Structure 1
Amino acid sequence: MTETTSGLRARLIETGVELLHSEGIPSLTLREIARRAGVSHGAPRRYFPTHLSLLSAIAREGFADLAERVGAALAAEGETSPRDRLLALGRVYVDFARTHHGMFELMFRHDLLESGGEPGLRRTTLPLFDVLVDLVARARPGGEPAPAVVAGALWANLHGIAQLWRWGSLPLATGCDDVEPLLRAALDAHLGNEAAAETGPESR
């Protein structure tokens, strides 16, 4: 039975994802992906006109996986406070960077995201960012800067924590053996101190 075009395309992407997880970005050549998928080295060109278009399709799987993990974590939080839900999102983000470091690196490659192979790939980040903006807006209603700006700064902070923790720089510099205090400090920096918010002006 002949494999369908969509089936082979999906197999090439799946093979690329598996190869990325096991051997990292340098292994993601068209030839190696084709070899692992059991097809001729020219076969990927029939579905992906450029190498970057295949890498983009693989990266899209990473964004989908991260979004699913964040969704599950937020669902597990139930009706907790927006700050607690932001903390849960941060944990997932850092854990994804630690356990899927090859994919995490690929997902944020500027040359990849700007390529013409997968139009709108950069926009794949927007639904997750919208979740972040919504939670920030509910955690700090009113005030300036706008929630999108605060969410952007918080995202940059989380991304930096994820990268530096994975590289071992933050544990060495801070002496922390757990990323949780850093995540809480990031939330305090962008949302205001949690203890002060709970105490309120009446107690001061």
Structure 2
Amino acid sequence: MVGDTGLRARLVQVGVDLVRSDGAATLTLREIARRAGVSHGAPRRYFPTHLALLSEIARTGFADLTAQITQTLADCPDDPRARLAALARRYVDFGCRDRGMFELMFRHDLLESNHLGLRDSSLPLFEMAVDLISRARPGTGTPPTVLAGALWTNLHGIVELRNWGSLRLATGTDDVEPLLHAALEAHLGPMRPSP
């Protein structure tokens, strides 16, 4: 028999697997319980509401994305612009590759309810971007938080348009690289040629 913490973790993992294989719309308490092999009421012992369970699953997504970006930045040169470009690519790649989780992570009702501090799980990513922008564009007069928010909005839009198929309709391709380059130049200014 699985212990209390084991079953709680199993319910979350089943939810993670389910959102990744079948999308966010399939994440019902009943389906998670069925796939975990427990009664449909079992999840309520650990998660008082459906939003609480979804929030814990989304926190797993934020932890995964943060770990991926941290690893990506560890492999980058110590150039804030290059590191910001790597962060942007990893973010867009994650959103395009892990669509169900990405959709769940940014659901307004989950972030608004802030179950289990979900909103706080997203902040380290934003703070990384703010730090890199403040180092890449010091003294621009525009607060780094504003520039990071504008860039994040741009990146998130690229993911959503690509995932909906609208990007292909508008540009004739699903290639996000030219858009990433344009977004970074729009928010950081043009790349200066190497001396």
TM-score exceeds 0.5: yes
Give the drift of 1:176: 4.2
Partner residue in 1 for 2:164: 167
Partner residue in 2 for 1:65: 64
Give the drift of 1:62: 0.4
2:110 to 88, 109, 112: 112
TM-score of the superposed pair, with normalisation by structure 2: 0.94
Aligned partners of 2:19 and 2:101 also within 8 Å: yes
Give the 3-state SS of the residue equivalent to 2:168 in structure 1: helix
1:88 to 83, 86, 89: 86
Q: Aligned ranges for residues 38-187 of structure 1 at < 5 Å? A: 38-79=37-78, 81-115=79-113, 118-187=115-184
Give the drift of 1:82: 1.2
Looking at structure 2, the residues matched to 24 and 176 of structure 1 have their Cα atoms a distance apart, in angstroms, of 24
Looking at structure 2, the residues matched to 103 and 134 of structure 1 have their Cα atoms a distance apart, in angstroms, of 26
Partner residue in 2 for 1:34: 33
Once superposed, what is the RMSD of the aligned Cα atoms?
Answer: 1.6
Aligned partners of 2:95 and 2:102 also within 8 Å: yes
Residue 9 of structure 2 is aligned to residue 10 of structure 1: yes
Looking at structure 2, the residues matched to 8 and 70 of structure 1 have their Cα atoms a distance apart, in angstroms, of 29
Give the 3-state SS of the residue equivalent to 1:120 in structure 2: helix
Tell me which structure has the larger Cα radius of gyration. 1
> What one-letter code is carried by the residue in structure 1 that aligns with 2:23?
G
Q: Go from structure 1 to structure 2 and tell me whether the alpha carbon gap of 1:68 and 1:41 turns closer, same or farther (over 3 Å shift).
A: same
User: What is the number of residues matched between the two proteins?
Assistant: 195
> What one-letter code is carried by the residue in structure 2 that aligns with 1:139?
A
> What one-letter code is carried by the residue in structure 2 that aligns with 1:31?
R
Looking at structure 2, the residues matched to 97 and 119 of structure 1 have their Cα atoms a distance apart, in angstroms, of 23
Q: Name the % identity.
A: 64
Give the 3-state SS of the residue equivalent to 1:114 in structure 2: helix
Give the drift of 1:199: 7.7
Q: Which moved more, 1:41-50 or 1:163-172?
A: 163-172
Q: Go from structure 1 to structure 2 and tell me whether the alpha carbon gap of 1:84 and 1:199 turns closer, same or farther (over 3 Å shift).
A: closer
Return 5+ residue gaps in structure 2 as ranges: none
Aligned partners of 2:56 and 2:116 also within 8 Å: no
Q: Go from structure 1 to structure 2 and tell me whether the alpha carbon gap of 1:134 and 1:106 turns closer, same or farther (over 3 Å shift).
A: same
Looking at structure 2, the residues matched to 39 and 78 of structure 1 have their Cα atoms a distance apart, in angstroms, of 48
Looking at structure 2, the residues matched to 171 and 140 of structure 1 have their Cα atoms a distance apart, in angstroms, of 32
Give a deviation string over 1:40-61, Cα, whole Å, max 9, x none: 1110010000111000000000
> What one-letter code is carried by the residue in structure 2 that aligns with 1:94?
V
Aligned partners of 2:20 and 2:101 also within 8 Å: yes
Looking at structure 1, the residues matched to 33 and 168 of structure 2 have their Cα atoms a distance apart, in angstroms, of 39
Return 5+ residue gaps in structure 1 as ranges: none
> What one-letter code is carried by the residue in structure 2 that aligns with 1:179?
V
> What one-letter code is carried by the residue in structure 2 that aligns with 1:60?
R
> What one-letter code is carried by the residue in structure 1 that aligns with 2:91?
Y
Give the drift of 1:75: 0.9
Looking at structure 1, the residues matched to 131 and 161 of structure 2 have their Cα atoms a distance apart, in angstroms, of 26
> What one-letter code is carried by the residue in structure 2 that aligns with 1:77?
C
Give the drift of 1:3: 1.8
Give the drift of 1:177: 4.7
